[in-house]
Amino acid sequence: MSSTLDRPALGEERGFWGAAMAVLRKDLLAEWHTRERLSTMVFFVLLTLLVFNFSFELGGAALHQIGPGVLWSAFVFASLFGLHHTFAAEQENNCLDALLAAPVSRGAVYLGKMAGNLLFLLVVELLALPFFALFFNLSLEAYLLPLLGVFALGAGCLSAVGTLFAALCSNLRLRELLLPLLLLPMVAPVIISCVGTTAMIFQERNPEEYFPYLRILGVYWVLFSALSLILFDHVVEE
């Protein structure tokens, strides 16, 4: 991976945003070569939708009530896979140490990782949507734009906190168990707001009605991105 994280030329500083972009590019390229994270996450979402279908016998009026919850539950669980992977691969090859030793700000590493998680999650959400519409007989063309908005916000919030917690858990025993235990209570406001908004979108309500939820998501994203940026240093230091 050293070719993608080229050492800057003598005297040339990579800068904060440049470093973040470099980390992002590295992760995107790695994913492009293997496509393992994306495919696992998408497949997991599909399986979850299937399981929920058996569990709740979705159809008709019930769908509009339960559908958004099913969708976002699937996304949250899939994100746990993706987040766990954020630092798992780095640890295997001791890349994390190299990354941290590089003359880049730790915050830039966090930002790059977060952007990567956000993009992966967003792609998974978008890929899952047509299957959701298919399985549950919905025509979602009318809702596409607002859905995109809430998907982006949801992905942003989940990545902001998730990236920090993934880094945190990567240092602990039982990391696979602890990440969900830590993350799920933390993202409760995100789940509530996303499900609430999606439900209102399906019910074709006025955007004004779900604006309070969007505001919570916005505040959450900004607040926890900023907080994670500051705290990331403490999480990864040796």
- State the residues that interact with another protein by CB under 8 A: 161, 164, 168, 171-174, 178, 181-182, 184-186, 188-189, 192-193, 196, 212-213, 216, 219-220, 223-224, 227-228, 231, 234-235, 237
CB closer to another protein, 40 vs 65? 65
Dihedrals φ, ψ of 94, to 5°? 55, 25
Q: How far is the CB of 105 from another protein (least distance, A)?
A: 18
Complex with another protein: residue 8 or 69, whichever CB lies closer: 69
Q: For residue 144, what are the CA distances in angstroms to 24, 130, 133, 150?
A: 27, 11, 12, 10
CB of 68 to another protein, least distance (A): 12
Q: How far is the CB of 216 from another protein (least distance, A)?
A: 5
Inter-residue contact 103 to 14 (CB < 8 Å) = yes
Smaller CB separation from another protein, 24 or 217: 217
φ, ψ at 75 (rounded to 5°): -65, -45
Question: What's the closest the beta carbon of residue 235 comes to another protein, in angstroms?
Answer: 6
Q: Cα 45–47–53 angle (5° rounding)?
A: 105
User: Considering beta carbons, is residue 46 or 100 the nearer one to another protein?
Assistant: 100
DSSP sequence for 95-155: HHHHHHHSSS-HHHHHHHHHHHHHHHHHHHHHHHHHHHHHHTT---GGGHHHHHHHHHHHH
Please return the burial class of 35, using the count of CB atoms within 10 Å of its CB with bins 0-12, 13-18 and 19+: exposed
What number of CA atoms fall less than 13 Å from residue 209's CA on the CB side?
11
Kindly state the smallest distance separating residue 99's Cβ from another protein, in Å.
18
**C-alpha dihedral over 43, 163, 118, 116, to 10 degrees?**
-90
CB of 164 to another protein, least distance (A): 7
What is the total residue count of the chain? 238
- Min dist CB 199 to another protein, Å, is 10
Exposure of 100 in the CB half-sphere (CA atoms within 13 A): 14
26/84 with CB nearer another protein: 84
Output 18 or 189, the one with its CB closest to another protein.
Answer: 189
**Cβ closest to another protein, residue 155 vs residue 182:** 182
